Structure 1
Amino acid sequence: MNVKYALLASVLVAQSAMAADNTDPNPLTEVGVVKVEWQNPKDYRDIKTSTERQSRFEARLFETLTKNINKQAEKSLKPGQTLFLQVTDLDLAGDMRPTFGATPGDLRVVKDLYPPRATFSYTINEGDKVVLSGEEKITDMSFMYNSQRLNDRPFQYETTLFTDWLKKDIEPKISQ
């Protein structure tokens, strides 16, 4: 009789863990002048984690990137302007490699062979008026060689991917 209860309890715990890991299919993050819709993250090329529950990792990733993009957007955009991104694909720097039991999870190997990439559409608004919009596929092939990026910030390469795009592509268009 105790075995039945133990099995039932384990099934209930597994179901509740799976239910807790179900997330919004298109999470939305917003900080300051930036709003980001992360469309179908389960289909992204590589946002895998090796150390924590995938849903928690994604939430941390999306919140961190939105916060960091906002820091640059506040400098790049004119007062009263907002940036809306719809991210359709994201590939973190590096590649996940199996450790075949040497560690509890896989290991992310960061080499210049695996640059960060993103595919998204964007809209810059000033009130209700669209000032600028477009679609982008960005990649940072030199992410390993820029000395300013050598620090321990989370998602530093991906942050730089987006902030460089704002500085190099958006700022000149807005200032025209």
Structure 2
Amino acid sequence: MRVRVLLFAAALAGAPSLASAEVAVRAEPGPYVSSWSFRSAAERDSIFRELARYLERTGARMLPKGRSASIELVEIDPAGRFEPWRPGFDDVRVLRDVTPPRVKLRYAVTERGRTLARGEETVTDIDYLSNISARSSGDRLVKLKPERR
């Protein structure tokens, strides 16, 4: 199963349209975001911004004309964990099957001022280590991009 953060939007949106829609993403990590998942606040903020840009672009392509979506990134927990007790590897994220990536978000999809759907979801990919091309990629969001067939 491949993670697509906008899976909920695609299901709600119906057939994709060539016309763009409005997607607003709020990506300001609050005090509730665990800092131990990131090496620094700058890294955390960078990942939030990068994911927000991805959601805006992808959502605008997926939503039919006339619909809009607002998404709030609540929490991002990248895959793996730092293991500072390992000499020389205290800043290396160790990937294990029990530490999959997770994104918690709130969303609302509207059309002409009427709310079609709203909710809060936690999206994860428990099979993230099985994708060899994703493991060898340097792209932090590679798992969110559709596979080429």
SS in 2 for 1:111: coil
| Number of corresponding residues | 123
Are positions 1:72 and 2:61 aligned together?
no
Structure 1 position 78, deviation (Å): 1.0
Are positions 1:48 and 2:44 aligned together?
no
Aligned equivalent of 1:34 = 24
SS in 2 for 1:43: coil
Letter in 1 for 2:74: T
CA displacement 1:12-49 (0-9 Å, x = unmatched): xxxxxxxxxxxxxxxxxxxx623124452x43245312
SS in 2 for 1:69: helix
Separation in structure 1 between the aligned mates of residue 140 and residue 43 of structure 2, nearest angstrom = 11
Separation in structure 2 between the aligned mates of residue 73 and residue 62 of structure 1, nearest angstrom = 16
SS in 1 for 2:88: coil
Structure 1 position 142, deviation (Å): 0.7
Distance 1:73 1:109, change over 3 A: same
Structure 1 position 61, deviation (Å): 0.8
Aligned equivalent of 2:81 = 95
Letter in 2 for 1:67: R
Which has more radius of gyration? 1
Structure 1 position 100, deviation (Å): 5.6
Distance 1:101 1:116, change over 3 A: same
SS in 1 for 2:69: strand
TM-score, normalization by structure 2: 0.66
SS in 1 for 2:126: coil
Moved over 6 A (4+): none
Letter in 1 for 2:23: V
Separation in structure 2 between the aligned mates of residue 56 and residue 39 of structure 1, nearest angstrom = 11
TM-score, normalization by structure 1: 0.57
Aligned equivalent of 1:126 = 111
Higher-helix-fraction structure: 1
Separation in structure 1 between the aligned mates of residue 111 and residue 52 of structure 2, nearest angstrom = 19
What is the aligned-residue RMSD (CA, Å)? 2.6
Q: Which has the higher contact order (CA 8 A, sep 6+)?
A: 2
Aligned equivalent of 1:108 = 93
Aligned equivalent of 2:71 = 85
Unaligned runs of 5+ in 1: 1-31, 165-176
SS in 2 for 1:122: strand
Structure 1 position 125, deviation (Å): 2.2
2:124 pairs with 139, 157, 168, which one?
A: 139
Task: Check whether the contact 2:23–2:71 (CA below 8 A) recurs between aligned residues.
Answer: no
Are positions 1:61 and 2:47 aligned together?
yes
